[in-house]
Amino acid sequence: MTSVKKFRSLAKKGGVFICCLLFMALAGTVHGEGLEIGIDVAPKVLNIESSGTVVTVHTNIKYWQVNAHTVTLNGLEIESWKADNLGFFVAKFEMDEVKGMADDGYLDIPDYYTVRLEGETKPDADGIIVFFGGQIDIWVIDIDPVAAGKP
């Protein structure tokens, strides 16, 4: 039985007080429509052989709006987050986990790969939570920096 049907059923039985409590409980979990955001990823070229440790995703959504614990990058959990100098949300992910997608067969090398950041906003004054997401393509390579003449 859906929440709306439960609400109507209780209302018909005269349980107005219970209906109000049920509605208030449900109000905190209302989800608004999705919001597509802009993102930029560093590094723009992901070298499987690099010694880098972090993949950083810059967004155009305000830091204070984001429930950081809900943020993922292609399903990977966020490692840390911060606000940039303009107050936008910045997410950081373990580079080894992102590189691990190549080992799992999710990345063709060399090729472009679409990374998608997703998450939820904090509830607004009306209890509405909005799903957000943004994506960008990065170039994935597997070149030994030492063999290529770079330390």
Please enumerate in sequence order all residues whose Cβ is within 8 A of that of 105, keeping only pairs 6 or more positions apart, or say none. Answer: none
- My answer on whether 46 and 97 are in the same domain is yes
Statement to judge: residues 8 and 81 lie in one domain: no
Domain extent at residue 24? 1-32
Beta bridge partners of 120: 67, 131
Residue 128 DSSP one-character state: -
Mean pLDDT computed over 112-137: 97
Q: Is the peptide bond before 151 cis (omega within 30 degrees of 0)?
A: no
Q: What is the mean pLDDT of the chain?
A: 83
27 and 93, same domain (yes or no): no
Evaluate whether residue 150 is within a structural domain.
Answer: no
Q: Summarize the confidence of residues 32-47 as an average pLDDT.
A: 94
pLDDT tens, residue by residue, 56-114:
999 999 999 999 999 999 999 999 999 999 999 999 999 999 999 877 777 778 999 99
**147: in domain:** no
CATH code of the domain covering residue 94: 2.60.40.10
The number of residues making up the chain comes to: 151
Look at residue 7 and tell me whether its pLDDT is greater than 50. no
Please check whether residues 64 and 124 belong to one and the same domain: yes
- pTM for the whole thing? 0.76
Instruction: Report how many domains make up the chain.
Output: 2
